[in-house]
Amino acid sequence: MSITIETRTTEELGKGGRAELRTMLEGCFGERYGDTAWQHCLGGIHYLLRYRGELAAHGSLVPRWFKQGNVALRGMYGESMATVPHLRHRGLGSIVVAMATAEIRLHHEIGVFAASKYEFYERQGWQKWRGPTFVRTDEETLPAAPARGAVMFRLPVDSSVNPDADLTTDWRDGDIW
């Protein structure tokens, strides 16, 4: 098995790399992967796994504002985690998730994302957020649950974040969580 893994910022991907990535993600997610979903995955760190030269799996972590109670949290949000259909169930996505998880546990106060297939992430040590979730707009803070699935989280070992308490994030177009 010939696997290579690259870690790149969005800027380091370049125009050609971004075009290849968008094509791969559209192939994985189909019509539901539009411009808003694409914009959500930009601006952070990309984990790109190639199998025999083909871009086979991807995940990105983007900086995102989180708050618990009155405490702001330095966090990363997982976006566009995907493996091309014909190479699924071979452990390639697990490698990408493991790399993203290590980044969060080493350098951030919290890692969060919404997942519809949360069982896959639970096997990798991610957990469902148990407390209420909210979104902050310019005017107010409102209850906000994910459109599908569950809000998943991962914490560093020495974290004081309480997964049974509230978690608030900032408003954005498209899926909030």
pLDDT tens per residue across span 52-82: 999 999 999 999 999 999 999 999 999 999 9
102-118 pLDDT per residue, tens: 999 999 999 999 988 88
Q: Nearest to residue 147, comparing CAs of 30, 41, 58, 32?
A: 32
Indicate the class that CATH gives domain 3-170: alpha beta
Boundaries of every domain in the chain: 3-170
Q: Nearest to residue 66, comparing CAs of 172, 169, 176, 175?
A: 169
Q: Are 80 and 42 in contact (CB under 8 A)?
A: no
pTM: 0.92
Q: Are 7 and 60 in contact (CB under 8 A)?
A: no
